Amino acid sequence: MAPVNDTLAVRRDIRSVELEITGTCQLRCTHCCTDSGPQTPSGSMTLNDWQRIIAEIAEIGIPAVQLIGGEPTLNLSLPRLVEEALGHGLEVEVYSNLAHVRPSLWETFSRDGVRLATSYYSDDPVQHEQITQGRGSHARTRANIGVALSRRIPLRVGIVEVLNGQRSGQAEAELRALGVEQIHIDRTRRVGRAAADAHTAPSIDELCGRCFRQRVAISSEGEVYGCILSRFLPAGNVKERGLAAILDSGRWAVGGNPCAHPGPTRRVYP
């Protein structure tokens, strides 16, 4: 068990918890850090489980949650989870591929305190869809970026450089012309599917250094990690013990975990 002052410092540093509310995704991006896809199970965490976790996050004093996947819009309980988080005074970000948005979800995304985030890879549909492995995904994501902007929903976009010769600069220029202000470009991190395709073992060298410090992630099976990219470093399961108990464990002590000290690179995706 870490000293009390260390555990309190860890809790104060955490700014957001990534909640992987489903493992399923309609796309199969070649670099996906969670190895999600159409055949990936949605996960064993129930609506009640997520509601309990959201309440505990608020009780701990962490100010925000990010609802991710897989593809979070495939979880039909997404509006209820957004409502739950807002009701506990939390800020909410939904990280969606925006490949398909049910009309009713736009009202949820337009709530005060809710932000959207998405990924966009190229101004060239062929390149974008080579990465997402989803026919028509470029046009649908681009159109829904436009809908979000027209509704004045706060939006940030991540561009991950996956291909040689990828038109990431042109994608950024296109997004700025559309009116997107918050854009970040990052390299592929060799975790999840990207590590499998490269036949490499996941390594902390692929992380930014903020894992176990500013971010926490909870998978669709309840596993707790330092962030969505550090799934190979599980620290516990919220179905077996409370989130606070996991955060207070020695694995999260500032000096004792492998990601405690900032690295030279920055992570912006998801």
3-state secondary structure string across the chain: CCCHHHHHHHHHHCCEEEEECCCECCCCCCCCCCCCECCCCCCCCCHHHHHHHHHHHHHHCCCEEEEECCCHHHCCCHHHHHHHHHHCCCEEEEECCCCCCCCCHHHHHCCCCEEEEEECCCCCHHHHHHHHCCCCHHHHHHHHHHHHHHCCCCEEEEEEECCCCCCHHHHHHHHHHHCCCEEEEEECCCCCHHHHHCCCCCCHHHCCCCECCCEEEECCCCEEECCCCCCCCCCEECCCCCHHHHHCCHHHCCCCCCCCCCCCCCCCCC
Task: Please list the pLDDT of the chain residue by residue as tens digits (270 residues).
Answer: 444 444 455 566 889 999 999 999 999 988 877 888 999 999 999 999 999 999 999 999 999 999 999 999 999 999 999 999 999 999 999 999 999 999 999 999 999 999 999 999 999 999 999 999 999 999 999 999 999 999 999 999 999 888 999 999 999 999 999 999 999 988 777 666 766 655 566 666 666 665 566 889 999 999 998 887 777 788 899 999 999 999 887 665 543 354 443 333 333 333
Q: What is the pLDDT of residue 270?
A: 38
Single pTM value for the model: 0.86
